[in-house]
Chain A
């Protein structure tokens, strides 16, 4: 019976012919240059035209857009920082007024934390993980595309609000009651609250995608014990996001409901509680620091192994440390609240936890030092940024120990000391490794090397500029300069240190400019990279640069932690996978622990519906605080879009039936 006839009959449902009927010449396995590999390329390529561009789901297209968008946000938020340093360069400055200044520091913090630091790490995961794990796609490609569009629209919304002078102005953690309906009328805090919804939807969906990809799509033979530390870092981060982000999503939704529908979650006069906001926010906010930091640890391990030309010392200890850090990071949130009425016993507990988290971080740092000390160092730009991490993060960690203890924290709470600490931790702990990662993987992504000389200038200017900017802030804090003041009188003794700090910011700006010049120049005219320019050990370097649309002509079979460093031991055992369809996007699903081949899986094809669903969701999110009833009916277009997204196409189903084989 034909498919269409079966469709229209009540005959028993039995399409399964018992075996995969895919023609032999449409199965993968043959190397590059074969007709099969050519067809794979055609199958995994994005569709042409504007609609095709909006329908893209290949993890490399989506990942690249994600990375570029996040970098643009980094630049925009960096310009906001530059505006603040210009304002604070001299006392009694009135370049920016207090209202604009409030919006600028709020947007700087919000954009850097929610729209740059977390998304850029996830973007790197979306691009790199399938290549590193030896597969052709992430688990849920359409969902990843939807996550990207949600992220993009959220970013556009918050910057548009800023340019329309409706930018949020209550700080990046929007404490109530300041951000509540009474003290911030208008829509400023609503934009902030919905921005959180945008980024949470995006971040959470990518996390589910990452967990599933890491657990189920590794190349055969890549047991959990052989999985690269980068993948471990991304896996641990994804789990943290899954359990931490819902807290801030709950909080921001409560805030929006307080503001829009007169709920009283945070309104003390009707039984609400303002400190509830701080608990919910920091239950997310502290782990957030670690889901910026832990992916950076993954970059570090990749870069150090390659440039020390040896495997990372103490691999199991590294994995356990990542997991331990993730657990401890959930027990630290109250140290942001030492200046509130939290019970003393609670404070003692959170101080102890804040000290304890230094242990797994130290384990990793010592393992890297051993690796570097016993390796044959190849000092190139990526490694320089990694070495910068050691210096800056260690200083940031030391001030963290200071802030983790209650009496010292009360002294410097809400001063520039905290600003110095958090920038040392976040820039040293995440941005330096991230720049190292850009230098390291740029050749893979574009096929061209970044210029090494410009890279060194980039590094040294960044390193010097960073310390010149932020080191004086420790002293400013100790001298009592509070955060978030738009100007200060001339006789406080803060003038010189502020000027020095502003000069440092200018140096950072030059350094970032050099990086942009380097990228633009090298993208076209850089030295060709070849497949593996650094002699690195992991699978992403086993394919072409830039990677083919299908990643690999044949999915590799893995037998060690450093597959490209280990030669064949037994030429008769399998070296690659064969038999996946070349004319649809088919992949191989493996078991969670041992990565044994389990079943084949056809990925969803490119589709415009994730884009349309994201547009509909954007309308719903923004509409809901202009027209409160849209909170309910605004969902309808989203539901319609999701239904079209899910509904299978006739011709695709027909193709799947050919490949079908029941378990």
Chain B
């Protein structure tokens, strides 16, 4: 690296001068050094934009509604949604620990925390199913029903996707074939989970609190 930084690197790509030997550079890197991190970031930007579009649609429909929002439907019950906020925030801990174990290449603790992360995701999905019963409307009741089912469904899709990712990755860590760069995948999986958590907070606020305002 310093070879390049230190000299005026000014040789055109014909074969002149000496070669820059990269054989002993690391074979992977964590965080923003890795291609996977950038790929995950791109996917999060796309999905974050989708969330934003649906939330904007919610408020557009609300602003232009002829009747009082939420269009004659009782406001959704707070219990399960709020419980899920708690589960999600707590789930940040095992995800953080899985990420840290992975960055230390500690196979034993990485395996353990992956299992705990998956368990949290399962708990979340179960409570999520209960959440749907507390919306007090169907998706085809009216436009309010459509947009809250849309929002909750969209977030559930991300949740299930990340749960499945975690399960596959956990399976790989127990069965192999493994190599060190898989620890980067654990780290990225945790980052994606943070995204699912952070996306839930505004969606929770919109679904459960916006109709109460």
Residues of A within 8 A of B (CB): 3, 7, 12-16, 19-20, 22, 27, 29, 31, 134, 139-140, 143, 204, 207-208, 211-212, 215-217, 219-221, 242-243, 245-247, 249-250, 254, 257-258, 261-265, 267, 270-273, 275-276, 279-280, 283, 539, 542, 552, 554, 556-560, 563-564, 566-580, 588-589, 592, 594, 596-602, 639, 643, 646-650, 653-654, 656-657, 659-663
| Residues in chain A near residue B19, CB distance under 8 A | 29, 554, 574-579
Cβ distance A26 to chain B, nearest Cβ, rounded Å:
10
| Residues in chain A near residue B4, CB distance under 8 A | 220-221, 557, 574, 596-597
CB of A264 within 8 A of CB of B146, answer yes
Q: Which of B1, B22, B53, B147 contacts A578 (CB 8 A)?
A: B22
Please name 4 further chain A to chain B contacts, defined as beta carbons within 8 Å, in addition to the given A22-B23, A574-B19, sorted by A numbering: A276-B60, A554-B15, A573-B7, A596-B4
Cβ distance B123 to chain A, nearest Cβ, rounded Å:
21
Residues 26-38 of B, flagged 1 when their CB comes within 8 A of A and 0 if not, give 1111101111001
29 A/B residue pairs, CB under 8 Å, sorted by A:
A7-B177, A12-B108, A13-B105, A140-B35, A208-B39, A220-B4, A246-B46, A246-B53, A247-B53, A257-B139, A265-B146, A271-B143, A283-B53, A539-B13, A559-B12, A568-B11, A571-B17, A572-B17, A573-B8, A574-B7, A575-B12, A576-B17, A578-B22, A580-B22, A594-B5, A600-B26, A660-B181, A663-B28, A663-B33
Residues A7 and B23 in contact in the complex (CB < 8 Å), given A242-B42, A273-B64: no
CB of A559 within 8 A of CB of B24, answer no
Residues A570 and B8 in contact in the complex (CB < 8 Å), given A250-B54, A601-B35: yes
| Residues in chain A near residue B176, CB distance under 8 A | 7, 653
Q: Which residue of A lies closest to B73 (CB)?
A: A271
Q: Which residue of B lies closest to A212 (CB)?
A: B38
Q: Which of A22, A208, A263, A556 contacts B146 (CB 8 A)?
A: A263
CB of A662 within 8 A of CB of B26, answer yes
CB of A568 within 8 A of CB of B10, answer yes
Q: Which of B38, B39, B177, B178 contacts A649 (CB 8 A)?
A: B177
CB of A578 within 8 A of CB of B20, answer yes
Q: Which of A273, A559, A592 contacts B11 (CB 8 A)?
A: A559
Alpha-carbon distance A29/B17, docked complex (angstroms): 12
| Residues in chain B near residue A563, CB distance under 8 A | 12-13
CB of A267 within 8 A of CB of B38, answer no
Residues A597 and B17 in contact in the complex (CB < 8 Å), given A271-B71, A273-B60, A589-B33: no
Tell yes or no: B213 within 8 A of A by CB.
Answer: no
Cβ distance B77 to chain A, nearest Cβ, rounded Å:
21
Residues A569 and B10 in contact in the complex (CB < 8 Å), given A20-B24, A246-B50, A579-B23: yes
Q: Which residue of A lies closest to B71 (CB)?
A: A271
CB of B107 within 8 A of CB of A602, answer no
| Residues in chain B near residue A13, CB distance under 8 A | 105-107, 178
Alpha-carbon distance A601/B45, docked complex (angstroms): 24
CB of A599 within 8 A of CB of B42, answer no
Q: Which of B9, B23, B45, B150 contacts A242 (CB 8 A)?
A: B45
CB of A571 within 8 A of CB of B11, answer yes
| Residues in chain A near residue B1, CB distance under 8 A | 596-598
Alpha-carbon distance A276/B13, docked complex (angstroms): 53
Q: Which of A570, A589, A592 contacts B7 (CB 8 A)?
A: A570
Q: Which of A29, A134, A257, A262 contacts B150 (CB 8 A)?
A: A257
CB of B17 within 8 A of CB of A568, answer yes
Alpha-carbon distance A202/B33, docked complex (angstroms): 25
Residues A220 and B50 in contact in the complex (CB < 8 Å), given A215-B38, A648-B177: no
Cβ distance A219 to chain B, nearest Cβ, rounded Å:
8
Alpha-carbon distance A663/B183, docked complex (angstroms): 12
| Residues in chain A near residue B145, CB distance under 8 A | 264
